[in-house]
Chains A and B, each alone.
Chain A
Amino acid sequence: MRRLKAQVSHLFLPLSVLGLLIVINLIKGADYFSLTVVNGALYGNIPNILFGASELVVLSIGMALVTAASQGQDIGIGASATITSAVFVMFVLNAGEVTWLTITAGFLISCVAGLVIGAFNGILVSGFKVQPMVATLILFMGGRSIAFMIDGKLSPILANDISNQIGTVIPGVPIQTPIILTAVFIALAAVVLKTTNLRLYIESVGINPSAARLNGINPKKIIFLTFLIMGICTAVAGFIAVNKAGRHDSVNLLKFIMMDAILAVAIGGNSLSGGKFSITGSIIGAYTIEILNRTLLRLEVQTETIPAFKAVFIIILMAVASPVVREYAQKILQRVRTMGVSGTERKTGTPNDEAVTSPNTPGKEEE
């Protein structure tokens, strides 16, 4: 019970932001939750959000693990996913006839490519003790060129039924396939984290590597492992993205997704300097970002102004969640409590309540 409470307070920030965005959307139009069935599949705002955020969710899971263990972020994920998807596309196109078998084999091979990329980054970070951001900067700079060399600069087109079905809908299944794939991946991650000691190890390495080492956990191995998992995540994300797009465009595939993935981890209430992590939080954070993007479009904000709005939103969010503001809010709350009605037992509100319900106070300072 106590653990549940702690978890809920951890998820308070992402959930309240999600709620706020949904309320804004409902004010804009009451038909926000409406669903329509087209050709036997569900469409509407919610399925579209789940569909659009699928790669981001997969990547934010890996990013949460990497951030927790190595106290840094992987900024090369977009480029890595481009490489793995290039491997997948070239395998499928060279295989001749496209069947489920070749698609599966191509996916597995792209997973191997992802593992190689993860091992490259992991060796740099764990073996050579390079900061993760710097180590992944290498692939960020060179990755898309490598993808270009693999796919031969032609941006090959995946024109077959099966990848079309993976990218959109399998006939007879009412839910779009990327959503199902994402759900399967989330379930797998949950099973792995629940049944193994991985979470404990990653958290202890992230909080204090030398203490973890003294307790018999090898920090190098754990950090290396998180980068391998990140490699698998990039392979899955690349697979989903390339099937969605229907062609392999080395320049624009998953461009700038690392920003969104890091943001998702941060919105999810995870510390970007390692330690405890919450996969649920980062998944909710990823969906929140997708909803934010779509809300801004729905409010008819011009496309070119969207980044500025997003930035203001992030700044307000992070300012509200910052420890200094929280402490300040707690102090004010205490003063109000002692000055106000002292006899009656008041409902104890967490300091987060105060901070979140008045998001404009810290926002003033930067405008």
Chain B
Amino acid sequence: MESLNAAKPRKRLSNSNLLFIIAGVIFVLMYLFAIINFPGSFMQFQTFFDLFNLNAPLIILTLGLSIVMIGGGIDISIGSVLGLVTMACAVLLQSAIGSVWGALLLALGIGIAFGILQGFLIAYLKIQPFIITLAGLFLAKGLLTTLHKDPINVTNSAFVSLRDFRITIPWLGTENRLGRFIPCEIRPGVIIVVVLVVLLAVLMKWTRFGRNVYAIGGNEQSARMLGINVKRTRFLTYVLCGLTAGIGGFVFLMTTGAGNVGNGSLFELKAIAASIIGGVLLNGGVGNLLGAPIGTLTLLIINELIRVSGVQSNFQAIVSGLLLYLFIVLQSVVMSLRDRRKFKITLPPWLKPPWLKLPWLRGKKKAENQG
């Protein structure tokens, strides 16, 4: 084992994993900073869970967008599609024939319909993704305002019980000032997020489709030479993205319980920023799907930190912009240094954690590095 390690001392990390590790480290540092500065609130587990509870839709959107961006495209319609889904579901639930399953089907249907429309136009007619998804944004926004203009509060009893459903963790929680124990609560949306993250990460990492997406994002020409069906793969990425937008819309409705014209506005830009922070390059071909939730959470923790410290809300936007700036510059510097081969992340053998030396993990690690 040791001799094998010595023979190949410099195993280069793939760009995807490097950017993902940077994002992960910064997220952990940020959270530690938050805990040190505001131990009262950030030490509570509920605060951590609330990050997921309240922002599950954004994480779901970021997942879908990351897939499209790894494939070399972009989708800026997702925020508006999410808004349209919430409003359509709210209208359906308030009508006489409303049921939760019907609303779920409607949400998935709208998402997939937008995905198919945009995917067809982009992949098969070869139109620039930015323009088509911009049109999709307008279309969803127009349909949303045509459908209903005023906020709707959903009062369907089955849905309300779903909305108020919480999973409590009895052994984890905090005591309030009176000494009463309050267990942590998780919304059902978080379960959906976890399931989706696992499913999509597996899809992108270990299936043929996922590898094809990385291939067409990296170099379309060579992907075609390898016999990959570029058009179909690209089409499927947009369908997946639409699907996640639909699911995200339903989760959003489950979180807020109301359809509103302003729902999901500017979510697309937040999702793009989160994907970039999570290590996806807009050029395509580089990125790790596990980075999507990490990027979202980093963005959110910054906002949370600013809110807790009580500065003007103006600074929230400015600091988010600055954070994005730092990440972009960091990524670009790291990538260019790597290209010049002056910068290597390779741990010396004596620093390697022992579990990396286990043979079954090493094989897996190698497979990951190729991805």
Which of A1-9, A93-101, A307-315 touches B?
A307-315
In the complex, the chain B residue whose C-beta lies closest to that of A75 is: B269
Give the residues from 143 to 200 in chain A that come closer than 8 angstroms, CB to CB, to chain B.
143-146, 148-149
A141 within 8 A of B: yes
B283 within 8 A of A: yes
Knowing A134-B282, A137-B273, A309-B142, the reply to whether A145 touches B318 (Cβ < 8 A) is: yes
B134 touches A314 (CB 8 A): yes
Render A273-307 as a binary contact track against B, CB cut-off 8 A, 1 for contact. Answer: 10000000000000000000000000000101111
B328 touches A138 (CB 8 A): yes
B146 touches A305 (CB 8 A): yes
Chain A interface residues (CB < 8 Å from chain B): 73, 124, 128-131, 133-135, 137-146, 148-149, 259, 262-263, 266, 272-273, 302, 304-312, 314-315, 318-319, 322-325, 362, 365-366
**In the docked arrangement, what's the CA distance between A366 and B135, Å?**
12
Knowing A139-B321, A141-B320, the reply to whether A324 touches B124 (Cβ < 8 A) is: yes
**In the docked arrangement, what's the CA distance between A315 and B117, Å?**
10
Chain B interface residues (CB < 8 Å from chain A): 74, 117, 120-121, 124-128, 130-132, 134-139, 141-143, 145-146, 149, 269, 272-273, 276, 282-283, 314-322, 324-325, 328-329, 332-333, 336
Shortest C-beta distance, B34 to chain A (Å), equals 21
Collect the chain A residues with CB atoms within 8 Å of residue B283's CB: 131
Shortest C-beta distance, A295 to chain B (Å), equals 15
Collect the chain A residues with CB atoms within 8 Å of residue B135's CB: 310-312, 314-315, 318
Interchain residue pairs A-B with the least CB separation, the first 6: A308-B142, A142-B321, A304-B145, A307-B142, A311-B139, A311-B138
Among the interface residues B124, B130, B145, B336, which one has the most CB atoms of the partner chain A within 10 A? Answer: B130
A263 touches B134 (CB 8 A): yes
In the complex, the chain B residue whose C-beta lies closest to that of A302 is: B146
Enumerate 10 A-B pairs (CB-CB under 8 Å) in ascending A order: A129-B336, A133-B130, A148-B314, A262-B134, A304-B149, A311-B139, A318-B132, A322-B125, A322-B126, A365-B120
Collect the chain A residues with CB atoms within 8 Å of residue B282's CB: 131, 133-134
Among the interface residues A128, A129, A134, A143, which one has the most CB atoms of the partner chain B within 10 A? Answer: A134
B138 touches A307 (CB 8 A): yes
Collect the chain A residues with CB atoms within 8 Å of residue B117's CB: 366
Cross-interface CB contact of B141 among A145, A307, A318, cutoff 8 Å: A307
Cross-interface CB contact of A145 among B121, B125, B272, B314, cutoff 8 Å: B314
In the complex, the chain A residue whose C-beta lies closest to that of B141 is: A307
A266 touches B321 (CB 8 A): no
Shortest C-beta distance, A70 to chain B (Å), equals 13
